[in-house]
Structure 1
Amino acid sequence: MSTDSAVFASVTDVIIIGGGPAGMSAALVLGRARRSVLVIDEALPRHRVTRESHGFLTRDGVAPAELRKAAREQIAAYPGVAFIEDSAVEAEGVDGDFRVTTAGGTIYRSRKLLFAAGMKDLPMDLEGLEDVYGKSAYVCPYCDGWEMQDRPIAVIAGKHTLHLTRTVAGWTDDVAVFMNGTDLPEEDRAQIQSRGIPIYEKPIARIESEKGETSAIVLSDGTKIARTAVFFAPRLAPGSELPAQFGCAVMESGAMIVDETGRSNVPGVFGAGDGASQKYQVAAAVAAGSAAGAGINFELLDLDWERKAEEAAIL
């Protein structure tokens, strides 16, 4: 750790790394519990590429930027919560005494630590996919299937191809699976074909579109299949490498392994949001952040309760 870094001397109750739906939900719970909270947010939420966010009760169809703005305005009512726009680059310490260093060179201290940095999309190696991502190409049918209903939809094979195809089929009868050079278990292939869903084996050359609206999938042999929507399994990586470096147990995807209240295997370290689950929905992230906020507060209450007993005994 750099010795010339500025040290933020006061110790907050909680540092939250990540200011997306999970992080802000936890901050709201903790702010209402009269905790001092610092949210370190680099302001690059994964869902910024989409036009609307769906499936969150009372906010269905809201633009991600509008959702963030409303959340920040409401959290501002609780003076114990502060936000800084920066990136956390290092974290160390033990339960009750954590230190987080930011890219700006400042070291912040806290009693508890919550990672809510989520996941990040890796570069898309399919020509044309980035042009339609968040406009007519999506990863979550529950989030965007309604808007794509009854369209000719392309499912691009990846992890859990059968599951994604079955799910997408709930919104349209016109589904086609594009293997893009990948393999598919014979049992899964038989299930898909038995429903009359075509499977295209050849690699995809490109996705054609205009102003973000998909028009066709072009295969390597020049075959063009008309499609106006795409669902695919994204290539993801953890939004922060710090949990793994800290010794937190992680899944194969790199997401943290936590219990129902967000506790990791490292005492005092919590996780919430899609960086600590396999669910990629705003509503799920908000719920996880709320649970983690309550879990953190319970641990702090327990510590404060014991401290007050010790102080009373001395008096």
Structure 2
Amino acid sequence: MENKELLDVAIIGGGPAGLNAALVLGRAKKKAAVIDAGRPRNAVTREVHGFLTRDGISPSEFRRIAKEEIGAYPSVSFAADTAVSIAGADGRFRVETEQGQTFASKKILFTVGMKDRPLDVPGLAEVYGKSAFVCPYCDGWELRDQPLVIIHKGTELMHFAPVISGWTNRFTVCTNGPDELTDAEREELLLNGVPLYDSPIRHIDSSEGIVRQVILEDGTTVPCRGIFFKPNLVIGSDLPQTIGCEISEFGEIVVDEFGKTNIPGVYSAGDAASRMHQAIAAASRGAFVAAVINGALNTEAWRRNE
């Protein structure tokens, strides 16, 4: 089914970045469509935190309220679908979807976020989003002062350990294999009273989603009430790379300070284009990049009249 109306912006992805972009564009009288299948990365997460006026809200309720508010602006539409191909160029892109819809759009905004690769630690999937999390700024308060296990290794661990210590000083590091640390880094953990185990994890023991202990292959058991772990993330869609967007060594879309990719007319915002994976940061960036796109559209229209 072809949507004959030429959009100003096709927003691919309907998380906080895409929704806030849609709000800004709607208020700027721009025709935009949010193409999103409704399968967010944070579907396992029960609550959104650190978002002023929305602290503790469920992700599904967050989206419901957002769509209700955006509904006040008739130039914005929603397609419960997945974009599968993009052709054309700046000013006239053609987006095709999984369900056979076609959208023509002047600009493209990727807000596809990131998604988790399968969790390779036995028992981790059962506790993810209930007592195992990836971001202490999002979920550290709920686990404050509790005994925790940190599943991490290498240089990034040495950044994470001091950060998590602000929420609790009762944590143990399980690296699930070689720790990839230097002797000096191991000494730093020791001086701060942090136990370190490099034996592979056999299983995470839990009850109704609440972790009880981490069991290692060497027989060690580490009792705990929560886990923070480093997720294995990939970009939420292959489309950006397929159309030639530059991808960084960390897996996100490379953009400039205004959200522009290396492809003219193509922009990105939110988790897909940042390592700051927080809902409020994604929403903020979505709003900013939408304003950039609106300015570009207005300038192009202005100059056509010269």
- TM-score, length basis structure 2: 0.97
Identity fraction in percent: 47
CA distance in 1, matches of 2:91, 2:162: 47
Give CA deviations for 1:23-77 in whole Å, capped at 9, x if unaligned: 0010000000000001100101111211111000111111111111100000000
Say whether residues 1:26 and 2:12 are aligned partners.
Answer: no
Change (3 A) 1:295 1:156: same
Q: How does 1:1-315 map to 2 (within 5 A)?
A: 6-158=1-153, 160-186=156-182, 187-309=184-306
CA distance in 2, matches of 1:94, 1:297: 18
Note the C-alpha offset of 1:228. Answer: 0.7
Q: Secondary structure at the match of 1:230?
A: strand
Q: Which runs of 5+ in 2 are unaligned?
A: none
Tell me if the contact between 1:175 and 1:197 (Cα under 8 Å) persists in the aligned partners. yes
Q: Secondary structure at the match of 1:171?
A: coil
Note the C-alpha offset of 1:224. Answer: 1.2
CA distance in 1, matches of 2:158, 2:114: 23
Q: Secondary structure at the match of 2:42?
A: helix
Note the C-alpha offset of 1:158. Answer: 4.0
Structure 1 segments of 4 or more deviating over 3 A? Answer: none
Tell me if the contact between 1:31 and 1:75 (Cα under 8 Å) persists in the aligned partners. yes
Tell me if the contact between 1:8 and 1:106 (Cα under 8 Å) persists in the aligned partners. yes
Q: Secondary structure at the match of 1:42?
A: coil
CA distance in 2, matches of 1:248, 1:151: 43
Q: Secondary structure at the match of 2:141?
A: coil
Tell me if the contact between 2:153 and 2:181 (Cα under 8 Å) persists in the aligned partners. no
Give CA deviations for 1:145-189 in whole Å, capped at 9, x if unaligned: 111100101110146111111111110010100010033221322
CA distance in 1, matches of 2:213, 2:33: 46
Deviates more, 1:152-161 or 1:163-172: 152-161
1:313 alignment counterpart: none
CA distance in 1, matches of 2:277, 2:301: 35
Q: Secondary structure at the match of 1:257?
A: coil
Q: Which runs of 5+ in 1 are unaligned?
A: 1-5, 310-315
CA distance in 1, matches of 2:103, 2:30: 16
* Counterpart AA for 2:238: E
Give CA deviations for 1:175-205 in whole Å, capped at 9, x if unaligned: 1000100332213222212211000111100
CA distance in 1, matches of 2:4, 2:73: 22
Tell me if the contact between 2:176 and 2:201 (Cα under 8 Å) persists in the aligned partners. yes
Tell me if the contact between 2:16 and 2:279 (Cα under 8 Å) persists in the aligned partners. yes
Give CA deviations for 1:244-271 in whole Å, capped at 9, x if unaligned: 1111111113210112321111111000
1:3 alignment counterpart: none
Aligned length: 304
CA distance in 1, matches of 2:178, 2:110: 34
Tell me if the contact between 2:271 and 2:277 (Cα under 8 Å) persists in the aligned partners. yes
Deviates more, 1:160-169 or 1:76-85: 160-169
